[in-house]
Chain A
Amino acid sequence: MAANMYRVGDCVYFETSSTSPYQIRRIEELNKTASGNVEAKVMCFYRRRDLPNPLIQLADKHQLAQSEDSPVAMKLKKICLKTPIGEEQAAQAVLDPALVAMEEESTELPGTDGLAPKQRHQAKHRELFLSRHVETLPATHIRGKCTVTLLNETESLLSYLNKDDAFFYCLVFDPSQKTLLADKGEIRVGSRYQTEVTNLLKEGEEEPRNSEDLETLVWTPEHGLTDRQIDQFLVVSRSVGTFARALDCSSSVKQPSLHMSAAAASRDITLFHAMDTLHKSGYSIEAALSSLVPASGPVLCRDEMEEWSASEANLFEEALDKYGKDFADIRQDFLPWKTLKNLVEYYYMWKTTDRYVQQKRVKAVEAESKLKQVYIPNYNKPNPALLASGAGCAGGKAAVLNGGTNATNGTPAPLPHLCASCQVTNSNQWYAWGPQHLQYRLCGSCWQYWKKYGGLKTAGVFGESEAEAVKGARDGDETALSASHRPHRCTVLNCAKEFKLRAHLARHVATAHGAGEGARPVMKTRAAFYLRASPFTRLARRLARALRRPRHYARNPFAPINLHQVKHDCTLAMAGAGAGAGAAGAGSAGAARARGPVGAVAARLAAAHGSAAPRAQDWLALTPRDRMPAPHHVAFPKPPKAPDGSLMYERVASRAEIEARRNEPAPAPPLKRRAYDDFNGLDSAGAGAGAGREAGAPPPAKRPNKHPAPMQRPSREQYAAMCARAQATGQPLPAHVFTHVNGKPTNLTGRGGRRHVISWMDAPDDLYFRATDIAKAGRRTLSSGELRRGARAPWRPMRGAGGAAGGAAGGALPAAAGKAAAGAPPLQLVILD
């Protein structure tokens, strides 16, 4: 019962959408509406996933700063972590070089020392960001209580993980300004803030001031009177007061009864006066008594309550009605003959009267619409995401998934029976999760976890970009995700530091290596990817009618493929109904006619047509440049033009640099191994490759193309040039140009649809294979079949990889993005769309 009572001040879960996680709110007010419903005015807490990316980076940094008690931490406390929509701006937001330095030291999420990766992952779900944003929600959407506390550095995050529904926060998020603010003030140090501490007095030195100047004694307990005597005296003084009121004309009008006079004479002012009198008479009862009844008649002490006439009281009430408790105005307009002190004193006494109590009652009725608590029963209706048992598990239905760019993420499509989070196969309830066509499902407990904490229990499924994956999924579009989450590595010799943001790298290069200012902007091709053909893809290629035009699709990589149809076809075909379909497949794809070599065919054709002399064909003539068809998309836009009209290509390492690199020991492997670094066992079977390296000039593993940010985006002129070109040719601007509208970097992520675009700078490094003599020799030892297989599956170690031929087949392959090689489940269809 008590669990379902929600009070003002409680932190609660609100369900505003059945599929997204609960929102966490703090109840500020509960109001009953005219219709009888209860509305809650709530203050918003934001989850990590609700924050723009750059702010999350800042939040991490702040946490880092907190974990050490460094001067940097102190600085961070002071600055407002302002930011930014674009990453570049994010970087600029933190201008302090000290911060940069600090950040270079570690890019690990702090405060998580000693936590297992899984716990670290889950801890992120427990972090909230306080905001001052207030909204009103119907109280019926409350789905339970939680606690949100300011993280104290003595606590380990574990203590939150071990408690259900426990969240913490460190920073305050301003959703309108997109800023993070440390919720902390500071004690300032300096002579303007501290006091000068008085010295101890020297011996013999005395306090110059007399107590008499500082204070007036009003009463002392050293009076020699008993409590009883004092009480008696008080009674006497009250009776004197009653008598005085009887004698006083104005009083007798106001207090017609003896009781009222006695009550008036019993007010505290009479008692205080009596005590003063006793003190002044040296605590002699007799002396005090006689001063109570001087020659002028019995002493009459009246406070404001009594002093005021009925009409004044009425005026006062009227004035209160009109001005509220603005006593200065009341005095000026209604009761100018009273002092402000009179008014204040009267006001506080008036509050004890019946008239005030009546007013208060009226107010109380008005306030009834404000509730202190509300009872919300447990919510039992099934969530629409709940899958009817067995529905989604229709046997054998393969999940045919995963578009090309998404493949870079290496997201393995889960098996139909697996929970997308914990891989459990048994659960009482299953919930559909993520974008519909992906058909992910979560088990009951993971679903609860998702709703409460806004993430999945394990990080593994979606890698580091899980939150974003979900974000993208929520918007129902598949986006390229992983690229922006790869650490950016410094390419300068002997450095190889990694950064979360490219801009940080840029700053690092600028500050640490002094490069930067003059560096040319770097142009790089768009994100490279490769298609990994699993047996199922190949199968699908044959089975699905939609895919029977491979050449068409190769020519039109932008043309969409109807995945549903492909899936449908495959299911049909694979469900065994497929004897016929299989035959058809075999018919179309299987029987290749032996046509002989091309030369023979040409000769045959020529003979058939009877034209021996080859003449110039129309189709052989070059199309004039202006009549060249323009593609709808420019996949590999030309590099921007420099102001002098030359194309700006990326800088190629000078010979000296290459020499130096060759002598440099292999850089420490990054924490997370990137799949595309590993070609045909090139790295792992290092012996052979190593031999090759020693013998000849090794291939430059990477072009030194990571260069400082400030120049990375097109300059105003370059941008103008691009626009002009686009306008002249009538083709749309390449997507990456949009990210720099008006020369100001914007980020598509920040705008409406949350589309995640990999900018060309984020694409992985291209990779060349430089064939040395040894490599060539090795290649010759391989059979052509092996070579071809190696080319198709660059991640697979060559059978002969131990030998000098290791990695030969990897040559000239473009670098592949993503981690597809890692742990893909065996049954998987990957289709490029």
Chain B
Amino acid sequence: MAMQPHSKKRVCYYYDSDIGNYYYGQGHPMKPHRIRMTHNLLLNYGLYRKMEIYRPHKATADEMTKFHSDDYIRFLRSIRPDNMTEYNKQMQRFNVGEDCPVFDGLYEFCQLSAGGSVAAAVKLNKQASEICINWGGGLHHAKKSEASGFCYVNDIVLGILELLKYHQRVLYIDIDVHHGDGVEEAFYTTDRVMTVSFHKYGEYFPGTGDLRDIGAGKGKYYAVNIPLRDGMDDESYESIFVPIISKVMETFQPSAVVLQCGADSLTGDRLGCFNLTVRGHGRCVELVKRFGLPFLLVGGGGYTIRNVSRCWTYETSVALGVEIANELPYNDYFEYFGPDFKLHISPSNMSNQNTPEYLEKIKNRLFENLRMLPHAPGVQVQAIPEDAVNDESEDEDKIDKDERLPQSEKDKRITGEGELSDSEDEGEGARRDNRSYRAPQRKRPRLDKDLAQHKDDANSEDTKDDVKSVSNMEEPKKDVPPNA
């Protein structure tokens, strides 16, 4: 996929002036105020006037239940600090209470953050913008029915679901210091969303994101995890980010990208342990932007708020393709940026535990995985027969819906890698389009654990069966011409 030069784009920016006033609680590191600080910097840097600024709607419960479970959203809607005691059991069930406290306006906060990402995704779908930014979003830990890691509603998943209406394949990149487990889990079994997360791994929240977690079922090889160690600096970050993302773009060929810009990977973060500067962090935005795909930028972690606002301000300028001065302009929160009052920060002298050899090995292992993708060059697409010959939908209709599915049918549904493969008649060019011209897939059946585990065996058998049926089908065809 061609890289495009650093260029000016239509940028839409989502912000609600209320967002800075939500307060997680005393001593809680998550401070929505950082979003307001960013906003004020943007105004005073003069970036504000170069973007379309939107106040997002408050996402409705309907919108949120596209991903989240109904009872979870109902719970979020009804819980308040003053009625907490009545919800003890549910609070435990939904993991609300400790890391994810109940605070005043919790639901509204979720609505605003989700509303921004959904509106941004719709905007991209309508091709009314090339880059959308929602620093209030990026809450990547939230699960389907569970809050986690300061995140309640997963605006990213909601945004991606929106993008999937118009995009066959969506790429999600996560440069938060924490693993993007919520998003990964949500799309763990689909091949339409690839999640790529760069994160600190080992004795670190949320504990997931092992190199070997690669997705399941149809989504196998569609989750990419880059486990890193303390002290990642700009140079080593780029050395792993560039090759991985280029390879992902080449093999996955997404038609839209979502980048979670968690700023806790910056040096000196209260919870983070990387050593990135604003420049190194922003470099990732720049690199992704160069691919010229519809691009959604969301916030995320970031707990040293002066650096978070520096970072997101800089990244907004990168998205806009505008250079901004290192001197911070005066603003309401100017004193926060002392003693130097500069935009850029310098790395600390902490040691980088990620040796080049380590990164190289990780990279090679991930390349091996990416090679398993059906698009990847070098994988023999011919080995897998065309599915057009084998009309599955017919058999399926005959099966009584109330009956348990026969194993053969189950096997068919699990088929993973092969399914996305292009058949020969579909040209290279087809992929460029946002829309895929394949008939819309029927709703994918739910995979549960057992099925996923049987997948490998099932797959191989499945392929064999297909081969047989193909030859059966073809023989009569060959016979036809002589008769005619």
Q: Is A328 an interface residue (CB 8 A)?
A: yes
Q: Would you give the shortest CB distance from A167 to chain B, in whole angstroms?
A: 12
Kindly list chain A residues whose C-beta atoms are within 8 Å of the C-beta of B211. 152-154
Q: Is A176 an interface residue (CB 8 A)?
A: no
Q: Would you give the shortest CB distance from A126 to chain B, in whole angstroms?
A: 15
Complex CA gap A267/B213 in Å reads 49
Contact A185 B435 (CB under 8 A): no
Kindly list chain A residues whose C-beta atoms are within 8 Å of the C-beta of B55. 215-216, 218
Q: Is B188 an interface residue (CB 8 A)?
A: yes
Q: Is A188 an interface residue (CB 8 A)?
A: yes
Contact B361 A154 (CB under 8 A): yes
Contact A187 B67 (CB under 8 A): no
Contact A328 B20 (CB under 8 A): no
Contact B56 A215 (CB under 8 A): yes
Size of chain B's interface in residues, with CB distance under 8 A?
107
Most buried by A among B14, B18, B49, B166: B49
Kindly list chain A residues whose C-beta atoms are within 8 Å of the C-beta of B165. 198-201, 207
Q: Is A751 an interface residue (CB 8 A)?
A: no
Complex CA gap A269/B167 in Å reads 40
Residues of A200-221 contacting chain B, CB below 8 A: 200-203, 207, 209, 211, 213-221
Q: Would you give the shortest CB distance from B119 to chain A, in whole angstroms?
A: 4
Q: Is B342 an interface residue (CB 8 A)?
A: no
Q: Is B92 an interface residue (CB 8 A)?
A: no
Kindly list chain A residues whose C-beta atoms are within 8 Å of the C-beta of B436. 200
Kindly list chain B residues whose C-beta atoms are within 8 Å of the C-beta of A219. 48-49, 51-53
Residue of A nearest to B192 (CB): A197
Complex CA gap A203/B438 in Å reads 10
Residues of B41-73 contacting chain A, CB below 8 A: 43-44, 46, 48-57, 66-67, 69
Q: Would you give the shortest CB distance from A305 to chain B, in whole angstroms?
A: 8
Interface string of B421-461 (1 = CB under 8 A from A): 00000000000000110001101101111001100000000
Residues of B182-222 contacting chain A, CB below 8 A: 184-190, 192-193, 201-203, 206-208, 210-213, 216-217
Interface string of B1-43 (1 = CB under 8 A from A): 0000000000000110110111101110000010010001001
Contact A352 B166 (CB under 8 A): no
Q: Is A348 an interface residue (CB 8 A)?
A: yes
Cβ-neighbour of B335 out of A266, A303, A344, A351 (below 8 A): A351
Contact A217 B54 (CB under 8 A): yes
Q: Would you give the shortest CB distance from A326 to chain B, in whole angstroms?
A: 5
Q: Would you give the shortest CB distance from B337 to chain A, in whole angstroms?
A: 10
Kindly list chain B residues whose C-beta atoms are within 8 Å of the C-beta of A189. 188-189, 216-217, 447-449, 452
Contact B184 A324 (CB under 8 A): no
Q: Is A586 an interface residue (CB 8 A)?
A: no
Kindly list chain B residues whose C-beta atoms are within 8 Å of the C-beta of A352. 332-336
Cβ-neighbour of A218 out of B54, B358, B453 (below 8 A): B54
Q: Is A262 an interface residue (CB 8 A)?
A: no
Contact B453 A351 (CB under 8 A): no
Q: Known: A187-B188, A207-B126. Contact between A268 and B119, CB under 8 A?
A: no
Contact B440 A349 (CB under 8 A): no
Q: Known: A153-B211, A201-B166, A215-B55. Contact between A221 and B49, CB under 8 A?
A: yes
Q: Would you give the shortest CB distance from A319 to chain B, in whole angstroms?
A: 12
Q: Is B390 an interface residue (CB 8 A)?
A: no
Complex CA gap A194/B350 in Å reads 38
Q: Would you give the shortest CB distance from B433 to chain A, in whole angstroms?
A: 11
Contact B440 A193 (CB under 8 A): no
Given contacts A215-B54, A219-B49, A223-B49, 18 further A-B contacts (CB under 8 A): A9-B273, A149-B353, A150-B229, A183-B203, A183-B207, A185-B207, A194-B447, A197-B161, A198-B165, A200-B165, A200-B440, A207-B126, A271-B43, A271-B44, A272-B43, A275-B43, A341-B18, A349-B333
Q: Can you name 23 A-B pairs with beta carbons within 8 Å? A: A9-B273, A130-B203, A149-B229, A150-B202, A152-B358, A154-B361, A187-B184, A187-B208, A188-B185, A207-B125, A207-B126, A214-B119, A215-B115, A218-B54, A227-B46, A268-B40, A268-B43, A272-B43, A348-B20, A348-B36, A349-B333, A351-B335, A352-B335
Residues of B within 8 A of A (CB): 14-15, 17-18, 20-23, 25-27, 33, 36, 40, 43-44, 46, 48-57, 66-67, 69, 81, 104-105, 115, 118-119, 122-123, 125-126, 128, 143-145, 157, 161-162, 164-168, 181, 184-190, 192-193, 201-203, 206-208, 210-213, 216-217, 223, 227, 229-230, 273, 330-336, 350-351, 353, 357-358, 361-362, 364-365, 435-436, 440-441, 443-444, 446-449, 452-453
Residues of A within 8 A of B (CB): 7, 9, 69, 71, 130, 147, 149-150, 152-155, 159, 172, 183-203, 207, 209, 211, 213-221, 223, 227, 230, 266-269, 271-272, 275, 303, 305, 324-328, 340-341, 344-345, 348-349, 351-353, 357
The 5 tightest CB contacts between A and B, nearest first, are A185-B207, A150-B202, A191-B446, A219-B53, A352-B335
